[in-house]
A = this chain, B = another copy of it.
Amino acid sequence: MPNRTSDIEQRATLKDIAERVGVHVSTVSRALNTETRSLVADELVQRILEAAEDLNYKPNRVALALRTRASMTVGVILPDIANATFPVLVHAIEATLATRKYSTLVAHAETGYPRKDTPLVDQLAARHIDGVILTTARRHHGIVDYCLKSSVPLVMVSRTEEDPRVSAVINDDIASMALAVRHVVELGHRRIAHLAGPADMSTGAARREGFIAAMREHKLEPSAIVRTKLYTREEGVLGAQEIFTIAPDTTAVITANDFLAVGCLDVIKASGRRCPDDVSVVGHNDMPLVDMIDPPLTTVRINYRQMGTEAALLMLRRLEDPTADAVMMTLRPKLVIRGSTGPAPR
């Protein structure tokens, strides 16, 4: 047996093709590139294409990135905490970027807010990232500054930015809350509370406003509005406890997130109430498995697959035409009625 590395398949380069055809490498480059193919004689193009096929030539993206400063990769920044909705989001992003030969580099936002030296930014810059998709709902972020400053295309998901240069795809949180409120109102509820998300996440703020607006629409006064610090079950427990001490007569609580809803169910159960007989709960996002909990959660569904696809398409649009305007795309949410909501008691 020969030594271990002897059988490495050496990838063919432009030079290999050039030698085989007996022509200069620049000619090969032009022949292979559809943009410049017209510059070389037809018959020669044929021979070069055949040789490329023979040698199974695949362009070296690293060299290409160095020369053209376009790395054909986009960075996807994920939140520092794992969230069940991200597999499908990332999958959708990666899949649609791959259709145009872009690769997906993932990174997680730094944990904690402390400014840190944002090595993440440097990392992205050092790799000549062509674009960034930000999926962290958390508000201020060094990445944004970096992208704006060096005019790297930026797309945000589930989050907006004032700057007109950034594209975004977001859920229509106003519509979400309108759906949720209308649903419980139609069930006869009048004492309705909101378990809101963190104020420093745009979804938290937007849904809170949406809730208030929807209540006003129905000429109702919220029985309570409580803010949480994180989208977690534990925070949901804390928040729900507060709601039921502030307004014990609440019969419906609309939450900003399924985790919060689950925490809410915990305290409902613990306090001897029953859901949905005594109090109804509606969640938000329709995360996997919330249809299996007890009771199955009524929630507002966000189509994360579509969200990922749209975000990637927005990115591709800007990458392939840098003059393209940034746009904001808002997706329509959908109410999914399950077992956690029912007629108001009495």
A residues contacting B by CB (< 8 A) are 4-5, 7-9, 11, 58-63, 65-66, 71, 73, 78, 80, 82-84, 86-88, 90-91, 94-95, 98, 101, 103-108, 122-123, 125-128, 149-151, 262, 265, 287-290, 292-295
A66 touches which of B63, B73, B150, B289 (Cβ 8 Å): B63
Say yes or no: B8 contacts A150, CB within 8 Å. yes
Residue among B65, B82, B94, B107 making CB contact with A88, cutoff 8 Å: B82
- 13 pairs of residues in contact across A and B, judged by CB atoms under 8 Å: A5-B151, A8-B149, A11-B125, A61-B127, A61-B128, A66-B66, A84-B288, A98-B123, A104-B107, A262-B289, A288-B289, A289-B289, A294-B294
Q: Is B103 touching A105 in the complex (CB atoms < 8 A)?
A: yes
Residues A125 and B90 in contact in the complex (CB < 8 Å), given A66-B66, A149-B9: no
In the complex, the answer to whether B294 meets A8 with C-beta atoms within 8 Å is no
Question: In the complex, are the beta carbons of A126 and B61 less than 8 A apart?
Answer: yes
Q: How far is the CB of A54 from chain B (nearest CB, A)?
A: 16
A62 touching B128, Cβ below 8 Å: yes
Q: How far is the CA of A65 from the CA of B127 in the complex (A)?
A: 10
**Complex CA–CA separation, A60 to B98 (angstroms):** 24
Are A94 and B66 in contact (CB-based, < 8 A)?
no
Is A108 in contact with B91, judged by CB distance below 8 angstroms? yes
For A71, A94, A95, A288, which residue has the most chain B Cβ atoms within 10 angstroms?
A288
Contacts of A128 in B (CB 8 A): 60-62
Q: In the assembly, what is the distance between CA of A138 and CA of B107, in Å?
A: 26
